[in-house]
């Protein structure tokens, strides 16, 4: 079985950057490409950043049982396709799921052995600054994401591993240690 690592945390906390830097250090770590109904942002590529799907296609895949987890987030659907997990089913493979809270809870039920990591911001205000500074979302979307973020931050106690992304390098170090610990745990 592969090692599944779930990484959750509010939008704007820097999950994507932390994971990208982890993969530069540990190239064997695969990232699951999620499916979503949201529109691609400038520069995002289909099949690379997400599988961008229409709402009907997404619903049909739900009906087929194609998702390991799925959730609605800020008015759009997001989900992890089982096929993504099956591609990394080898012994010693590591696959990272970068997903929101509801999806993380579903994986906690279905795959209790998965490592669950919550990435937290140093403060709520830094989240707002990062979302505004990223410049990729409208003011309304940012407000919606901040409302969800408040709820997500309230759930961090559910996670045994919480990394505060204050200094990026420290956050990547902490995640690397956790992943290596998870890999060693399987060998010992
Ligand atoms: P964004 O639209 O900013 O790319 O993602 C919005 C939120 O959806 C983020 O918190 C991201 O982690 C989450 N997300 C991305 N892919 C998935 C997925 O496959 N499942 C779930 N449950 N959440 C996802």
What percentage of the chain exceeds 70 in pLDDT?
98
Compute the mean pLDDT over every residue in the chain, rounded to the nearest whole number.
93
Question: Mutation test of ligand 1: which of 100, 118, 148, 156 has the most ligand atoms closer than 8 Å to its C-beta?
Answer: 100
Q: Tens-of-pLDDT digits for all 188 residues of the chain?
A: 789 999 999 988 999 999 999 999 999 899 999 999 999 999 999 999 999 999 999 999 999 999 999 999 989 999 999 999 988 777 778 999 999 999 999 999 999 999 999 999 999 999 999 888 888 888 898 898 899 999 999 999 999 899 999 999 999 999 999 999 988 886 55
Do 182 and 3 touch, CB atoms closer than 8 A? yes
pLDDT in tens, 65-114: 999 999 999 899 999 999 999 887 777 789 999 999 999 999 999 999 99
- 67-73, strands of its sheet edge to edge: 51-52, 35-36, 76-81, 67-73
Task: Name 61's Cβ contacts closer than 8 Å, sequence gap at least 6.
Answer: 35, 53, 67, 79, 81
85-108 burial, b for 16+ CB within 10 Å, e for fewer?
Answer: beebeeeebbbbbbbbbbbbbbbe
Query: CB under 6 Å to ligand 1: residues?
Result: 11, 34, 38, 69, 71, 73, 78-80, 98-100, 102-103
Determine the longest span between alpha carbons in the chain, in angstroms. Answer: 50
CA 96 remoteness from chain centre: 7
Which of 161, 180, 167 is closest to 8 using CA atoms?
A: 161
């Amino acid at each position: 079985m592969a090692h599944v690592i779930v990484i959750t945390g509010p939008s704007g906390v820097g999950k994507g950057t932390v994971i990208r830097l982890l993969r530069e250090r540990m190239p064997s770590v695969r990232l699951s490409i999620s499916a979503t109904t949201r529109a691609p942002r400038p520069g995002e590529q289909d099949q690379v950043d997400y599988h961008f799907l229409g709402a009907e296609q997404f619903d049909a895949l739900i009906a087929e049982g194609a998702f390991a987890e799925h959730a609605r987030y800020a008015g759009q659907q997001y989900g992890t396709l089982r096929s993504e997990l099956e591609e990394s089913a080898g012994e010693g493979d590591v696959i990272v799921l970068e997903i929101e809270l509801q999806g993380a809870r579903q994986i906690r039920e279905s795959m209790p052995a998965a490592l669950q990591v919550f990435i937290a911001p140093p403060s709520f205000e830094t989240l707002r600054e990062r979302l505004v500074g990223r410049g990729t979302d409208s003011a309304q979307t940012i407000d919606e994401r901040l409302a969800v973020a408040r709820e997500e931050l309230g759930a961090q106690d559910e996670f045994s591993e919480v990394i505060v992304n204050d200094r990026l390098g420290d956050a990547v170090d902490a995640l690397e240690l956790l992943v290596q610990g998870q890999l060693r745990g399987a060998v010992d």
